[in-house]
Amino acid sequence: MALAMRRDELPAAPEDDAPVPLRLAVRTAWISDLHLGTPGCQATALLEFLRHLECDTLYLVGDIIDGWQLKRHWYWPQAHNDVVQKLLRKARKGTRVIFVPGNHDEFARKYLGHTFGGVDVVREHIHLLADGRRLWVTHGDLYDGVIQCAKWLAYLGDSAYEFTLRMNRHLNSLRARLGLPYWSLSRYLKLKVKRAVSYVSDFESAVAREARSRGVHGVVCGHIHHAEMRTIDGVLYCNDGDWVESLTALVEHGDGRLEIIDWAEHLARARPAAVALPQPVAG
Ligand SMILES: [Mn+2]
Protein backbone atom coordinates (compact mmCIF):
# COMPACT_ATOMS: atom_id res chain seq x y z
CA MET A 1 0.00 0.00 0.00
CA ALA A 2 2.79 2.38 0.92
CA LEU A 3 4.31 1.84 -2.51
CA ALA A 4 1.04 2.57 -4.26
CA MET A 5 0.50 5.72 -2.21
CA ARG A 6 3.97 6.97 -2.99
CA ARG A 7 3.43 6.36 -6.66
CA ASP A 8 0.20 8.32 -6.49
CA GLU A 9 2.05 11.38 -5.29
CA LEU A 10 4.37 11.35 -8.28
CA PRO A 11 3.46 13.81 -11.00
CA ALA A 12 1.68 12.21 -13.92
CA ALA A 13 3.68 12.13 -17.14
CA PRO A 14 2.53 14.91 -19.45
CA GLU A 15 0.58 13.49 -22.37
CA ASP A 16 2.33 15.45 -25.07
CA ASP A 17 5.91 14.52 -24.26
CA ALA A 18 7.93 12.78 -26.95
CA PRO A 19 9.06 9.19 -26.34
CA VAL A 20 12.15 9.27 -24.17
CA PRO A 21 14.92 6.69 -24.22
CA LEU A 22 14.50 4.83 -20.96
CA ARG A 23 17.24 2.38 -21.77
CA LEU A 24 17.87 -0.21 -19.12
CA ALA A 25 21.29 -1.74 -19.77
CA VAL A 26 22.01 -4.43 -17.18
CA ARG A 27 23.93 -7.67 -16.82
CA THR A 28 20.92 -9.83 -16.00
CA ALA A 29 17.15 -9.44 -15.84
CA TRP A 30 14.51 -11.69 -14.29
CA ILE A 31 10.84 -11.47 -15.21
CA SER A 32 8.02 -13.84 -14.35
CA ASP A 33 4.27 -14.22 -14.21
CA LEU A 34 3.58 -12.57 -17.56
CA HIS A 35 0.47 -14.77 -17.94
CA LEU A 36 0.41 -14.43 -21.72
CA GLY A 37 -2.88 -15.81 -23.00
CA THR A 38 -4.99 -14.03 -20.40
CA PRO A 39 -6.67 -10.60 -20.49
CA GLY A 40 -4.80 -9.80 -17.26
CA CYS A 41 -1.40 -9.74 -19.00
CA GLN A 42 -0.23 -6.16 -19.45
CA ALA A 43 1.44 -6.90 -22.76
CA THR A 44 1.74 -3.28 -23.92
CA ALA A 45 3.67 -2.21 -20.83
CA LEU A 46 5.72 -5.39 -21.03
CA LEU A 47 6.63 -4.73 -24.67
CA GLU A 48 7.73 -1.24 -23.82
CA PHE A 49 9.87 -2.60 -20.98
CA LEU A 50 11.43 -5.25 -23.24
CA ARG A 51 12.19 -2.62 -25.89
CA HIS A 52 14.21 -0.63 -23.36
CA LEU A 53 15.89 -3.62 -21.79
CA GLU A 54 19.37 -4.71 -22.81
CA CYS A 55 20.89 -7.61 -20.91
CA ASP A 56 23.36 -10.46 -21.32
CA THR A 57 21.07 -12.97 -19.65
CA LEU A 58 17.29 -12.89 -19.38
CA TYR A 59 15.51 -15.30 -17.07
CA LEU A 60 11.84 -16.11 -17.65
CA VAL A 61 10.94 -17.28 -14.16
CA GLY A 62 7.70 -19.14 -14.88
CA ASP A 63 4.02 -18.48 -15.60
CA ILE A 64 5.07 -16.95 -18.90
CA ILE A 65 2.24 -18.51 -20.93
CA ASP A 66 -0.89 -19.31 -18.94
CA GLY A 67 -1.84 -22.83 -19.99
CA TRP A 68 -4.52 -23.07 -17.24
CA GLN A 69 -6.57 -20.21 -18.67
CA LEU A 70 -5.89 -20.98 -22.32
CA LYS A 71 -7.34 -24.44 -21.72
CA ARG A 72 -10.57 -22.87 -20.43
CA HIS A 73 -10.80 -20.03 -22.92
CA TRP A 74 -8.57 -19.26 -25.89
CA TYR A 75 -7.22 -15.71 -25.78
CA TRP A 76 -4.23 -14.73 -27.88
CA PRO A 77 -4.16 -11.11 -29.15
CA GLN A 78 -1.45 -9.67 -31.37
CA ALA A 79 0.34 -7.95 -28.47
CA HIS A 80 0.90 -11.33 -26.78
CA ASN A 81 2.38 -12.66 -30.00
CA ASP A 82 4.60 -9.57 -30.15
CA VAL A 83 5.93 -10.35 -26.67
CA VAL A 84 6.88 -13.89 -27.72
CA GLN A 85 8.50 -12.56 -30.91
CA LYS A 86 10.41 -9.97 -28.90
CA LEU A 87 11.73 -12.63 -26.50
CA LEU A 88 12.78 -14.93 -29.38
CA ARG A 89 14.41 -11.99 -31.14
CA LYS A 90 16.46 -11.22 -28.02
CA ALA A 91 17.59 -14.86 -27.95
CA ARG A 92 18.54 -14.65 -31.64
CA LYS A 93 20.48 -11.42 -31.12
CA GLY A 94 22.73 -12.92 -28.46
CA THR A 95 20.89 -12.60 -25.16
CA ARG A 96 21.01 -15.83 -23.22
CA VAL A 97 17.35 -16.59 -22.48
CA ILE A 98 16.62 -19.15 -19.75
CA PHE A 99 13.07 -20.32 -19.16
CA VAL A 100 12.22 -21.84 -15.77
CA PRO A 101 8.59 -23.03 -16.11
CA GLY A 102 6.03 -22.34 -13.38
CA ASN A 103 2.72 -23.94 -12.47
CA HIS A 104 0.63 -22.09 -15.08
CA ASP A 105 3.01 -23.22 -17.82
CA GLU A 106 3.73 -26.63 -16.32
CA PHE A 107 3.24 -28.10 -19.83
CA ALA A 108 6.76 -26.79 -20.54
CA ARG A 109 8.15 -28.97 -17.75
CA LYS A 110 7.90 -31.86 -20.20
CA TYR A 111 10.65 -30.21 -22.24
CA LEU A 112 13.27 -29.62 -19.55
CA GLY A 113 16.78 -29.73 -20.95
CA HIS A 114 15.63 -28.74 -24.45
CA THR A 115 16.22 -25.50 -26.36
CA PHE A 116 13.51 -23.78 -28.42
CA GLY A 117 14.60 -20.97 -30.72
CA GLY A 118 17.57 -20.25 -28.48
CA VAL A 119 15.54 -20.42 -25.25
CA ASP A 120 16.83 -22.98 -22.74
CA VAL A 121 14.11 -24.70 -20.74
CA VAL A 122 15.32 -25.77 -17.29
CA ARG A 123 13.65 -26.86 -14.05
CA GLU A 124 15.78 -24.45 -12.01
CA HIS A 125 19.09 -22.68 -12.36
CA ILE A 126 22.04 -21.38 -10.35
CA HIS A 127 22.98 -17.85 -11.38
CA LEU A 128 26.45 -16.52 -10.62
CA LEU A 129 26.39 -12.78 -9.89
CA ALA A 130 29.28 -10.55 -11.05
CA ASP A 131 30.41 -10.30 -7.40
CA GLY A 132 30.61 -14.07 -7.01
CA ARG A 133 27.38 -14.67 -5.06
CA ARG A 134 25.24 -17.57 -6.18
CA LEU A 135 21.48 -17.29 -6.64
CA TRP A 136 19.09 -20.19 -7.04
CA VAL A 137 16.42 -19.41 -9.65
CA THR A 138 13.05 -21.16 -9.32
CA HIS A 139 9.44 -20.20 -10.02
CA GLY A 140 8.47 -21.10 -6.45
CA ASP A 141 5.13 -22.90 -6.77
CA LEU A 142 6.67 -26.06 -5.30
CA TYR A 143 7.01 -24.18 -2.00
CA ASP A 144 3.47 -22.80 -2.05
CA GLY A 145 1.46 -24.58 0.66
CA VAL A 146 -1.88 -23.90 -1.03
CA ILE A 147 -0.87 -25.34 -4.40
CA GLN A 148 0.84 -28.36 -2.89
CA CYS A 149 -2.00 -29.26 -0.50
CA ALA A 150 -5.13 -28.29 -2.42
CA LYS A 151 -4.88 -27.72 -6.12
CA TRP A 152 -8.66 -27.14 -6.41
CA LEU A 153 -8.30 -24.22 -4.02
CA ALA A 154 -5.62 -22.73 -6.23
CA TYR A 155 -7.95 -22.97 -9.27
CA LEU A 156 -10.77 -21.33 -7.31
CA GLY A 157 -8.46 -18.55 -6.19
CA ASP A 158 -7.45 -18.12 -9.82
CA SER A 159 -11.02 -17.17 -10.85
CA ALA A 160 -11.42 -14.66 -8.01
CA TYR A 161 -8.05 -13.27 -8.98
CA GLU A 162 -9.10 -12.92 -12.64
CA PHE A 163 -12.10 -10.90 -11.47
CA THR A 164 -9.90 -8.56 -9.43
CA LEU A 165 -7.56 -8.11 -12.38
CA ARG A 166 -10.55 -7.23 -14.58
CA MET A 167 -11.61 -4.52 -12.12
CA ASN A 168 -8.00 -3.38 -12.01
CA ARG A 169 -7.95 -2.96 -15.80
CA HIS A 170 -11.18 -0.93 -15.85
CA LEU A 171 -9.97 1.29 -13.04
CA ASN A 172 -6.65 1.90 -14.73
CA SER A 173 -8.03 2.67 -18.17
CA LEU A 174 -10.14 5.29 -16.38
CA ARG A 175 -7.07 6.54 -14.50
CA ALA A 176 -5.10 6.73 -17.75
CA ARG A 177 -7.85 8.87 -19.30
CA LEU A 178 -7.67 11.17 -16.29
CA GLY A 179 -3.90 11.40 -16.73
CA LEU A 180 -3.20 9.48 -13.53
CA PRO A 181 -0.35 6.96 -13.31
CA TYR A 182 -0.90 3.22 -13.06
CA TRP A 183 -2.07 2.02 -9.64
CA SER A 184 -2.59 -1.62 -8.78
CA LEU A 185 -5.94 -2.37 -7.18
CA SER A 186 -5.08 -6.05 -6.80
CA ARG A 187 -1.82 -5.22 -5.08
CA TYR A 188 -3.61 -2.82 -2.75
CA LEU A 189 -6.25 -5.45 -1.86
CA LYS A 190 -3.64 -8.12 -1.28
CA LEU A 191 -1.74 -5.95 1.17
CA LYS A 192 -4.98 -5.12 2.99
CA VAL A 193 -6.12 -8.68 3.54
CA LYS A 194 -4.39 -10.17 6.55
CA ARG A 195 -4.66 -13.76 5.38
CA ALA A 196 -3.00 -12.79 2.12
CA VAL A 197 -0.20 -11.12 4.06
CA SER A 198 0.49 -14.27 6.08
CA TYR A 199 0.27 -16.39 2.91
CA VAL A 200 2.96 -14.19 1.36
CA SER A 201 5.26 -14.37 4.38
CA ASP A 202 4.80 -18.18 4.71
CA PHE A 203 5.79 -18.55 1.08
CA GLU A 204 8.80 -16.26 1.45
CA SER A 205 10.17 -18.16 4.45
CA ALA A 206 9.59 -21.56 2.79
CA VAL A 207 11.54 -20.51 -0.31
CA ALA A 208 14.32 -18.91 1.76
CA ARG A 209 14.60 -22.08 3.90
CA GLU A 210 14.95 -24.20 0.76
CA ALA A 211 17.61 -21.82 -0.60
CA ARG A 212 19.58 -22.05 2.63
CA SER A 213 19.51 -25.85 2.53
CA ARG A 214 21.01 -25.63 -0.97
CA GLY A 215 23.94 -23.59 0.32
CA VAL A 216 23.42 -20.59 -2.00
CA HIS A 217 23.57 -16.90 -1.09
CA GLY A 218 20.07 -16.19 -2.26
CA VAL A 219 17.07 -17.10 -4.34
CA VAL A 220 15.12 -15.48 -7.18
CA CYS A 221 11.52 -16.56 -7.62
CA GLY A 222 8.15 -15.25 -8.75
CA HIS A 223 4.73 -16.91 -8.40
CA ILE A 224 3.05 -14.76 -5.72
CA HIS A 225 3.02 -11.54 -7.80
CA HIS A 226 4.74 -9.56 -5.10
CA ALA A 227 8.17 -8.09 -5.86
CA GLU A 228 10.48 -8.10 -2.89
CA MET A 229 14.15 -8.09 -1.99
CA ARG A 230 15.19 -8.71 1.59
CA THR A 231 17.28 -10.99 3.75
CA ILE A 232 15.43 -13.82 5.50
CA ASP A 233 17.52 -15.73 8.08
CA GLY A 234 20.73 -14.87 6.29
CA VAL A 235 19.47 -15.71 2.79
CA LEU A 236 18.75 -13.05 0.18
CA TYR A 237 15.15 -13.50 -0.95
CA CYS A 238 14.33 -11.84 -4.29
CA ASN A 239 10.98 -11.94 -6.03
CA ASP A 240 10.74 -10.32 -9.46
CA GLY A 241 6.98 -9.65 -9.17
CA ASP A 242 4.75 -9.93 -12.24
CA TRP A 243 3.29 -8.31 -15.36
CA VAL A 244 -0.41 -8.58 -14.60
CA GLU A 245 -0.58 -6.19 -11.67
CA SER A 246 2.69 -4.77 -10.41
CA LEU A 247 4.77 -4.47 -13.65
CA THR A 248 8.09 -5.28 -12.00
CA ALA A 249 11.37 -6.98 -12.82
CA LEU A 250 14.57 -7.81 -10.99
CA VAL A 251 17.86 -6.73 -12.56
CA GLU A 252 21.54 -7.22 -11.85
CA HIS A 253 23.82 -4.30 -12.66
CA GLY A 254 27.34 -4.76 -14.01
CA ASP A 255 28.87 -4.90 -10.51
CA GLY A 256 26.49 -7.56 -9.21
CA ARG A 257 24.17 -5.10 -7.48
CA LEU A 258 20.53 -6.20 -7.57
CA GLU A 259 17.56 -3.89 -8.02
CA ILE A 260 13.81 -4.24 -8.40
CA ILE A 261 12.55 -2.19 -11.33
CA ASP A 262 9.02 -0.90 -10.87
CA TRP A 263 8.21 -0.09 -14.48
CA ALA A 264 5.31 2.31 -13.84
CA GLU A 265 7.45 4.23 -11.36
CA HIS A 266 10.41 4.13 -13.76
CA LEU A 267 8.24 5.70 -16.48
CA ALA A 268 6.77 8.33 -14.18
CA ARG A 269 10.27 9.29 -13.00
CA ALA A 270 12.00 9.29 -16.36
CA ARG A 271 9.47 11.09 -18.52
CA PRO A 272 8.98 14.38 -16.62
CA ALA A 273 12.76 14.66 -16.24
CA ALA A 274 13.24 14.33 -19.97
CA VAL A 275 10.75 17.14 -20.59
CA ALA A 276 13.00 19.49 -18.61
CA LEU A 277 15.92 18.95 -21.04
CA PRO A 278 16.82 22.14 -22.97
CA GLN A 279 14.99 22.33 -26.27
CA PRO A 280 17.12 22.66 -29.44
CA VAL A 281 17.04 26.18 -30.82
CA ALA A 282 15.81 26.39 -34.40
CA GLY A 283 18.20 27.85 -37.00
MN1 LIG B 1 2.83 -19.40 -10.41
Distance 268 CA to ligand 1 centre (A): 28
Q: Which residues contact 144 (CB under 8 A, 6 or more apart)?
A: 154, 203, 206, 223, 224
Q: How confident is the model at residue 165 (pLDDT cuts 50, 70, 90)?
A: confident
Distance separating alpha carbons of residues 46 and 243, to the nearest angstrom: 7
Please provide the average confidence, as pLDDT, over all residues in the chain.
86
Q: What is the pLDDT of residue 86?
A: 97
**pLDDT, tens digit, 9 for 90 and up, residues 29-61:** 999 999 999 999 999 999 999 999 999 999 999
Helix or strand holding residue 259 (H, E): strand 258-262
Domains of the chain: 22-275 (3.60.21.10)
Taking the centre of ligand 1 as the mean of its atom positions, its distance from the CA of residue 62, in whole angstroms, is 7
User: What is the predicted pLDDT for the residue at 20?
Assistant: 45
What is the arithmetic mean of pLDDT over 149-164?
68
Residues with CB under 5 A from ligand 1 (ion): 63, 102-103, 141, 223
Note the pLDDT tens digit of each residue in 204-227: 999 999 999 999 999 999 999 999
The pLDDT confidence band at residue 90, using thresholds 50, 70 and 90, is very high
Ligand 1 centre from 63 Cα, in Å?
Answer: 5
- Model pTM? 0.82
Which pLDDT score is estimated for 267? 87
For position 275, what pLDDT does the model report? 47
Percent share of the chain, pLDDT over 70: 82
Question: Which residues, including other chains, have CB under 8 Å from residue 143's CB and lie 6 or more apart?
Answer: 203, 206, 207, 210
Q: How far apart are CA 196 and CA 18, in angstroms?
A: 40
Q: How far is the CA of 279 from the centre of ligand 1 (A)?
A: 46
Distance from the CA of 200 to the center of ligand 1, in angstroms? 13
Q: Which pLDDT score, from 0 to 100, does residue 160 have?
A: 75
